[in-house]
Amino acid sequence: MKDEIIKWIKDYFNENGKGCKAIIGISGGTDSSVTAKLLVEALGKENVIGVLMPCGIQHDIDVSLALVKLLDIKYHIINIEEPVGALREIIGKEFDKDPNSVDAYKTNTPARIRMTTLYGICALYGGRVANTCNLSEDWIGYSTKFGDAAGDFSPISDLTKTEVRELGRELGLPSLFVEKTPEDGMSGKSDEEKLGFTYEVLDRYIRTGECDDPKIKERIDHLHKINLHKIEPMKAYRRK
């Protein structure tokens, strides 16, 4: 599997940005770790730029730092706490309320500012931004539209979380990165705690259509249906 994806990345850059740098947000999680390793294998470490984007204090930033040092890639640390806070203040004054009292704002705004940061750095390098979402997340819409769901190319979006972990092992990444508990870094809960089911259950359903719990199946189907807009092309009026 790794050789096919590495070749795909090489082909993408040959066709869409020969000589460009690959810009990738490094969270320390499995998806960004595996994607970063793929980029290094495909393009060489000198052509991969990692960007660490804590929002204030990030409790597990040591994992992100360990990854960029392991891969020996150039990296930048951009703390987004100030722009997130400034926007919150500006919007709060306009509406006379704290925007963070609305979950959709609180959860999605930092993700969109992170993507803006990546494209800002991308412009300075003349690069391409890697999307690090996997199929499991995309299937149920567990991503932010125009945030972590954005990017120029997506090496692992056809792989479930289980398959991404398998790929990480195939690439020889240490278990610190492959087995790390998935979390959003903001809620204090793991992905699986927030979703109400495990990736193992979700991935089995995606690949086989089998799910032993009817309520979980119903929830997965519901999430998939209402979040398709995040991965489908924007609906647009077409003149007849």
Coil, helix or strand at residue 162: helix
The residues with which 76 forms a beta bridge, in sequence order, are 51
Buried (b) or exposed (e) across 25-40, using 16+ Cβ within 10 A?
bbbbbbbbbbbbbbbb
110 and 185 Cβ atoms separated by less than 8 Å: no
The pLDDT assigned to 2 comes to 96
Q: Which segments in the chain show pLDDT lower than 50?
A: none
Domains and CATH numbers, the chain: 2-230 (3.40.50.620)
The pLDDT assigned to 183 comes to 75
Whole-angstrom CA distances from 188 to 1, 65, 94, 191, 237 are 33, 21, 29, 10, 41
Task: Note the pTM of the prediction, 2 decimals.
Answer: 0.94
The pLDDT assigned to 191 comes to 85
The pLDDT assigned to 27 comes to 94
**Phi, psi for 32 (deg, rounded to 5):** -70, -30
